[in-house]
Amino acid sequence: MISTFVKDIGANVGQEIELKGWAYNFRSSGKIFFLQFRDGTGVTQIVYSKAALTEEQWNALQSLRIESSVIVTGKAKPDRAGTGFELDGTGVTIVSLAAEDYPIGKKEHGPDFLHDMRHLWLRSPTQWAIQRVRDTVIHATYDYFREKGFTKIDSPILTPNACEGTTELFEMDYFDMGKAYLSQSGQLYLEAAVMSFGNVFDFGPVFRAEKSKTRRHLTEFWMMDAEMAFCDHEGNLKVQEELICRIVADVLKHNRSDLAILERDVTKLEKIQAPFVRMTHAEAVAKLKELGSDIGPMDDLGADDETKLTELYERPIFVEKYPTVVKAFYMKRDPNDPTHVMNADMLAPEGYGEIIGGSQREDDYETLLQRIKEHNLPVEQFNWYLDLRKYGSVPHSGFGYGLERIVRWMCGIHHIRETIPFPRLINRLTP
Ligand code: 4AD
Ligand code: MG
């Protein structure tokens, strides 16, 4: 007998096969037992008739409970709807009978309850679909960078200094060496690596002690940082645009059925193509004022501003050249206007807002030193970073994406907490 997976039933039509998984649901009508079965690769139905089973097997089915683990056998055939496949059941073994009171039922549960039950909720179809989309986004990213000749570099998580401002740092005592901080972004380390490898990226968990409860902030999330030597602001945007187009294309290629479970309007994703919309921060402010925002010329865009702006276009928007005062110390200032920096945030359409932050980096030693001082950062902790401007400095640029922000957009879901297997928020650390 062939031991296989739900996703491969179609290749085994006419054969008796074995599947290992869980009893997702079932119903019985006297002499027929319908088992909804899932194995991680998909869901299928196994139709058992009493006449085809031993008494022992039929009794086992009668004792079955939702979410029990089971090994089933049956003959594969097209289902009645003609859209999928099902099994004519020939056997069943209960591996572990689930307790009677599986907490997640058919009725509506509130989000707090579901997140308390996250360890079980992950089995639900929507949560399963979201994580499968996440998997595609991750693989598309690795594939894109590998094809473009980037080297994957792992940046550290325990760091002696801040990357993105000191207000959102998780700190801890580090033996007798003072404080250590959880990384907010691997960027500064990638800037060291580009001087050895040319083009690099990292991918890992980063941490922000975000005090706000929003639909787009986690305290632990996964960031991909990319960094390119001999690359200016224009070159930076080109890589970002290509990467996002690649991710969308791969999700559309591999996750149609998952997007269907999520009731995602895929026509919105099908419209994501280069070139993306581009506007300066000043142009964005002017547009937002027309839309009734009270944003000032030197203000950062608020979440509401990003929502308003991105509802105007069907493609992502690069908002470029933010005021220097609202952005990080390492961004290179516009040579024509030092009150603004050579950066861009990429905002996803349909109100999703910022998914990427990036910039050309300050590559001049004296200017960078001065910027570190202006930001009241401890110069001694940045000496290694300053060294990069002393020994063979080059124009270089890079960006970082928030994986969960992209998954949220791809899946079309409201709250970022469903995009990561075990979310960490200001008010949630378990399970
Ligand atoms: O814009 P950010 O803060 O940029 C950086 O950290 C740069 N050092 C990246 C770089 O140039 N290499 O963060 C990058 C992205 C944001 O655009 C957003 O998508 C995501 O990380 N992000 C968050 N995602 C979830 N929860 C949070 N609290 C996030 N903060 C940022
Ligand atoms: Mg940002």
Q: Is the CB of 191 under 6 A from ligand 1?
A: no
pLDDT digit string, tens, across residues 269-296? 999 999 999 999 999 999 999 999 999 9
114 located within any domain: no
How remote is the CA of residue 400 from the centroid of ligand 2, in Å? 9
pLDDT at 162: 81
Residue 364 maps to which CATH number?
Answer: 3.30.930.10
Q: Which ligand is nearest to the CA of 223?
A: 1
Q: Are residues 189 and 296 in the same domain?
A: yes
101 located within any domain: no
Q: Which ligand is nearest to the CA of 189?
A: 1
How remote is the CA of residue 345 from the centroid of ligand 2, in Å? 7
pLDDT at 118: 98
Q: Are residues 90 and 137 in the same domain?
A: no
**Number of structural domains the chain divides into:** 2
Question: Rounded mean pLDDT of the chain?
Answer: 96
Q: Are residues 40 and 140 in the same domain?
A: no
Cα distances (Å, whole numbers) of residue 183 to 1, 30, 215, 223, 344 = 51, 60, 22, 10, 22
405 located within any domain: yes
Task: Say whether pLDDT at 106 is over 80.
Answer: no
DSSP 317-374: EEEE--BGGGS-TTBPEETTEEEEESEEEEEETTTTEEEEEEEEBP--HHHHHHHHHH
How remote is the CA of residue 87 from the centroid of ligand 2, in Å? 50
Q: Are residues 202 and 84 in the same domain?
A: no
* Mean pLDDT (whole number) for 396-415: 98
Q: Is the CB of 89 under 6 A from ligand 1?
A: no
Closest-CA residue, ligand 1 atom 18, reads 402
Q: Is the CB of 358 under 6 A from ligand 1?
A: yes
Q: Are residues 232 and 343 in the same domain?
A: yes
pTM above 0.85, yes or no: yes
Which two tokens mark 394? 């080059």
Q: Is the CB of 361 under 6 A from ligand 1?
A: no
Which two tokens mark 420? 């990561």
How remote is the CA of residue 154 from the centroid of ligand 1, in Å? 17
Q: CA–CA separation, 397 vs 172, rounded Å?
A: 31
Q: Which residues pair with 318 in a beta bridge?
A: 278, 346
112 located within any domain: no
pLDDT at 164: 86
Q: Is the CB of 322 under 6 A from ligand 1?
A: no
Task: Say whether pLDDT at 329 is over 80.
Answer: yes
431 located within any domain: no
Q: Are residues 78 and 123 in the same domain?
A: no
**pLDDT over 90, % of the chain:** 95
CA 90 to chain centre: 41
Q: Is the CB of 402 under 6 A from ligand 1?
A: yes
Q: CA–CA separation, 118 vs 111, rounded Å?
A: 10
Q: Are residues 254 and 399 in the same domain?
A: yes
How remote is the CA of residue 357 from the centroid of ligand 1, in Å? 6
pLDDT at 38: 98
Q: CA–CA separation, 266 vs 277, rounded Å?
A: 20
Instruction: Pick from 134, 155, 168, 185 the residue to mutate for probing ligand 1's pocket: most ligand atoms within 8 Å of its CB.
Output: 185
Q: For Cα atoms 120, 355, 159, give the angle at the middle one, nearest 5 degrees.
A: 80
pLDDT at 163: 81
Q: Is the CB of 353 under 6 A from ligand 1?
A: no
237 located within any domain: yes
Q: CA–CA separation, 245 vs 156, rounded Å?
A: 29
How remote is the CA of residue 352 from the centroid of ligand 1, in Å? 14
196 located within any domain: yes
Q: Are residues 367 and 236 in the same domain?
A: yes
Q: Are residues 196 and 243 in the same domain?
A: yes
Q: Are residues 227 and 167 in the same domain?
A: yes
* Mean pLDDT (whole number) for 402-422: 98
Residue 57 maps to which CATH number?
Answer: 2.40.50.140
Ligand 1: which atom is nearest the Cα of residue 405? Answer: 19
232 located within any domain: yes
Q: Is the CB of 164 under 6 A from ligand 1?
A: yes
pLDDT digit string, tens, across residues 182-199? 999 999 999 999 999 999
- Given 81, 96, 111, which residue is the final one in a domain? 96
> How many other C-beta atoms lie within 10 A of the C-beta of residue 150?
20
Q: Where in the sequence is the domain holding 75, given as residue range(s)?
A: 2-96
- Given 65, 96, 127, which residue is the final one in a domain? 96
pLDDT at 212: 81
Cα distances (Å, whole numbers) of residue 61 to 21, 42, 92, 106, 257 = 15, 21, 8, 21, 29
Q: Is the CB of 250 under 6 A from ligand 1?
A: no
Instruction: Pick from 199, 331, 354 the residue to mutate for probing ligand 1's pocket: most ligand atoms within 8 Å of its CB.
Output: 354
Q: Are residues 125 and 88 in the same domain?
A: no
Q: Which ligand is nearest to the CA of 405?
A: 1
Q: CA–CA separation, 252 vs 248, rounded Å?
A: 6
Any idea what DSSP says for residue 83? S
Q: Are residues 173 and 211 in the same domain?
A: yes
- Given 30, 63, 96, which residue is the final one in a domain? 96
Closest-CA residue, ligand 1 atom 30, reads 217
Contact predicate 343/398, CB 8 Å: no
pLDDT at 167: 82
